[in-house]
Amino acid sequence: MGKNLALNIESRGFSIAVYNRTTSITEEFVGQHKDKKISGAKSLEEFVSSLDKPKKIIIMVKAGEAVDLVISQLLPFLEKGDVIADAGNSFFKDTVRRSKMLEEKGLYFVGTGVSGGEEGALKGPSIMVGGSEEAWKHLQPFLEKIAAKAFDGSPCCAYLGTDGSGHYVKMIHNGIEYIDMQLISEAYHLLKEVGLSNEEISNIFDDWNKGRLNSYLIEITSKILRKRDSETGEFLVDVILDEAEHKGTGKWASQDSLDLGVPVYSLNTAVLARFMSSLKKERVAASKLIEKNSVIIENKERFVQQVHDALYASKICAYAQGFALLSAASKEYNWSLNLKNIAHIWEGGCIIRAKFLENVKSAFDKNTQNLMMDNYFFDIIKESENSWRDVVTFAVRNKIPIPGFSSALTYYDSYFSERLPANLIQAQRDFFGAHTYKRTDKDGVFHSDWND
Ligand code: 6PG
């Protein structure tokens, strides 16, 4: 990704210096691009001294200790006012710590979330910037040029707030990415279980990509389902082991939602679904103990439409949760995040880019508290609701796990419930632990003698 980001920056008319701790990698890269304004450095000292003041350095290394190590190695060669941008998937609390440490030394640190994978880095990623506004002024001219474009042609790059805000927003992007992927995979699973072939499902996704569900993830799913394995001639997807791995950003998002007390059912479920998938051996053994009848569906065309509607409604709920978490984090960490802006910079370049984000942007332009309450999305959920419930019921009856679809439906049903059974939980807490409860008919805190 670092190489592609460098090529992208150079292609927009900037000269750039590159450094890798393995000199042969630097030399090979520079050698491949002799015609470009890219210079390679053999040491960090040589690299830093080749830069104009204030020096603007982008670090692209594995999140965690490697970032601290590179910063400590750079420090002896930096002067007040120089800028370090961390473009990796760093944990936002590390970014807060690093910002503080570097700002005390008169340096700027910018936590820069970059999404779009290798291709995005080259052709235009979505860039989520957090740090001091002063540092942003130095980076803005080239970050805006290398970023993808939103639907209105403006850059998918924005300054979002201080210290860890950029990396936080990237973490939530990834959390939503996990949910989107889980929901699409469940749609694929359902369609496969009712007997559709990979090619048929690929065509369905292709079709869906022309409508409301248009998105990068739907597009690549359609391509994935058509791809043959060069060794066996089988569909490649069928020979891939069903154990989903992860690098941690979804789990961090989930953990923070628990810290902030935000009910993000779908996010937590998407993370847990990956964990469950990795219990392959146990699942194989357990599956032998139950019987599964073959799944019969009378009207396939109708079912495909129902799955489409369930997927779209679940997606609305997923984004509602992601944005609710952003809103809570903004208050907790004093960032004043602009939700409309965030939806805007996700319109292009990033993994969750989708047509849908244009409507999300409009919803947050109207100061919507929860995405599901926006008229446009509320009407779509109402329209899709019967299909959504039918799909969930069908899956439950046929023993097809659909944690994404059902947790989104639970989120929706819970959010729109005036009364939940939490009154009983409060009574139980008070019964066994004298934890007290509030009443519906008067203010105050109460405790009862339940054995009376
Ligand atoms: C992006 C992606 C990327 C992430 C991968 C892998 O926006 O370009 O989110 O940053 O690293 O998607 O994530 P997992 O390994 O956790 O699935």
Specify the pLDDT at position 292. Answer: 85
Q: Identify the pLDDT of residue 367.
A: 82
pLDDT > 90? residue 62:
yes
Q: Based on the fold, state whether residues 108 and 202 are members of the same structural domain.
A: no
298 found inside a domain: yes
Domain count, the chain: 2
Distance from Cα 6 to the centre of ligand 1, integer Å: 19
Q: Is residue 425 part of a domain?
A: no
Q: Is residue 431 a part of any domain in this protein?
A: no
**What is the model's pLDDT at position 234?**
97
Instruction: Give the span between the Cα atoms of 99 and 16, in whole angstroms.
Output: 24
pLDDT band for position 294 (cuts 50, 70, 90): confident
Look at residue 211 and tell me if it is in a domain: yes
Cα of 279 from ligand 1 centre, angstroms: 22
* Number of the ligand 1 atom closest to the C-alpha atom of 170: 7
For the CA of 177, the nearest atom of ligand 1 = 9
In a domain, 427, yes or no: no
* Position 231 pLDDT exceeds 90: yes
The response to whether residue 90 sits with its C-beta less than 6 Å from ligand 1 reads no
Is 280 among the domain residues? yes
With respect to residue 436, please indicate whether it lies within any of the assigned structural domains.
no
Residues 244 and 284 in one domain: yes
pLDDT grade, residue 293 (50/70/90)? confident
Q: In this model, does residue 133 exceed pLDDT 90?
A: yes
Does 255 share its domain with 374? Answer: yes
Mean pLDDT over each residue of the chain, to the nearest integer: 97
| Beta carbon of 249 within 6 Å of any ligand 1 atom | yes
- Only one residue has tokens 């996700």, namely 346
Choosing from 112, 172, 174 the residue with most ligand 1 atoms within 8 A of its CB, the one to mutate for a pocket test is 174
pLDDT score at 352: 98
Q: Place 398 in a pLDDT band, splitting at 50, 70 and 90.
A: very high
Average pLDDT estimate for 67-73? 98
Listed range (94-108, 198-212, 291-305, 394-408) with the worst mean pLDDT: 291-305
What would the mean pLDDT of 298-309 be, rounded to a whole number?
Answer: 97
The confidence score (pLDDT) of residue 52 equals 94
Give every CB contact of residue 278 below 8 A, 6+ residues apart in sequence. 243, 244, 245
Average pLDDT estimate for 407-413 = 98
Long-range contacts at 269-275 (CB < 8 A, ≥ 24 apart): 269/179, 269/182, 269/403, 269/404, 269/407, 270/175, 270/178, 270/179, 270/181, 270/182, 270/403, 270/404, 271/178, 271/246, 272/403, 273/182, 273/244, 273/403, 273/404, 274/178, 274/244, 274/245, 274/246, 274/250
Measured at the CA of 229, the angle between CA 224 and CA 231, to 5 degrees, comes to 165
Q: Is 246's C-beta closer than 6 angstroms to any atom of ligand 1?
A: yes
Task: Write the residue with the smallest CA distance to atom 17 of ligand 1.
Answer: 246
pLDDT at 96 over 90: yes
CA distance 268 to 259: 13
- Residue 445 in any domain: the answer is no
pLDDT tops 90 at residue 432: yes
Domain, as residue range, for 179: 173-415
Q: Among the atoms of ligand 1, which is closest to the Cα of residue 352?
A: 7
How many angstroms does the Cα of residue 387 sit away from the middle of ligand 1?
31
Confidence band of 167 (pLDDT split at 50, 70, 90): very high
The average pLDDT across 93-103 equals 97
The per-residue DSSP string of 272-320 comes to HHHHHHT-HHHHHHHHTTS--PPP--S-HHHHHHHHHHHHHHHHHHHHH
| Residues 184, 159 share a domain | no
Residues 106 and 132 reside in one and the same domain: yes
Please report how the helices 403-415 and 375-397 are oriented relative to each other, as an axis angle in degrees rounded to 10: 130
The domain spanning residue 51 has which CATH number? 3.40.50.720
Q: Residue 144: which pLDDT band, with cuts at 50, 70 and 90?
A: very high
Q: Does residue 163's CB lie within 6 angstroms of at least one atom of ligand 1? A: no
